[in-house]
Amino acid sequence: MLQGHRERHRTSRIGWLRAAVLGANDGIVSISSLIVGVAAANGSHGNVLIAGAAGLVAGAMSMATGEYVSVHSQADIEQAELEVERKELKANEEAEHNELAAIYVRRGLDPELARQVAVQLMAHDALDAHARDELGIVEAFSARPLQAALASAASFTVGASLPIAAAAWSSSASLVPCVAGASLLFLALLGGLAAWFGGADVWTGAMRVTFWGALAMVLTAGAGGLFGPVA
């Protein structure tokens, strides 16, 4: 029996890493922007904290709901496609052999070898072979709605708690610079950490999320300053 060396790939992290990074990033950006906007509209320190807490709860539920619905839709599509494939395998197995062999030919195998590979893989697990090579459904990328929803809600809560904590510990006079500065630092750390986990450039990941977070806070502060006096 052939034995290969064990390799550690990062693709298995994609599902939870995406949801976790998206949730934490959204938590920091949205709540820090909300706090800065309310403060720019001359909101009291207490009003700022109330707005931040309310935004945390609403945002966490929104993230969980959005992730669950979108990922569940993906899961539904995958299951529907697999059911179609099951029926096709029962109806005409020979045609499915030819279809799989044609895929391997397009990937570079000669027709005879492609046919042998298709026959052996289908003998082992026909549905798995077609799911992977025809439909592109693999275990590492399969949809997990509940996992994505919980990861998004939890990470949003953690991310949103950071600017709220900075606001709680700062005085009314220093609230905006403290929250903005701390949030940008958190975003830089988050972007760098996510890039490191994914094997990408840490500096680029950090700068990317920091830039968009700063832009969000500037625009929200501008809106608060513009409409605050009107209210």
Would residue 6 count as lying in a domain? no
Q: How far is it, in rounded angstroms, from Cα 71 to Cα 146? A: 9
Q: How far is it, in rounded angstroms, from Cα 167 to Cα 180? A: 10
Average pLDDT over residues 30-43: 90
Helices (H), the chain: 14-40, 45-91, 93-106, 111-133, 145-169, 175-198, 202-227
Would residue 8 count as lying in a domain? no
User: What is the number of domains present in the chain?
Assistant: 1
Length of the chain (residues): 231
Would residue 40 count as lying in a domain? yes
Would residue 5 count as lying in a domain? no
Would residue 10 count as lying in a domain? no
Domain span holding position 38 = 16-227
Would residue 31 count as lying in a domain? yes
61-72, pLDDT tens digit by residue? 998 898 888 888
* pTM exceeds 0.95, yes or no: no
105-155, pLDDT tens digit by residue? 888 888 888 888 788 877 787 777 777 777 776 665 566 778 778 888 899
Would you place residue 225 in the very low, low, confident or very high pLDDT band (cuts 50, 70, 90)?
confident
Structure token pair of residue 42: 């001359």
Would residue 3 count as lying in a domain? no
Would residue 77 count as lying in a domain? yes
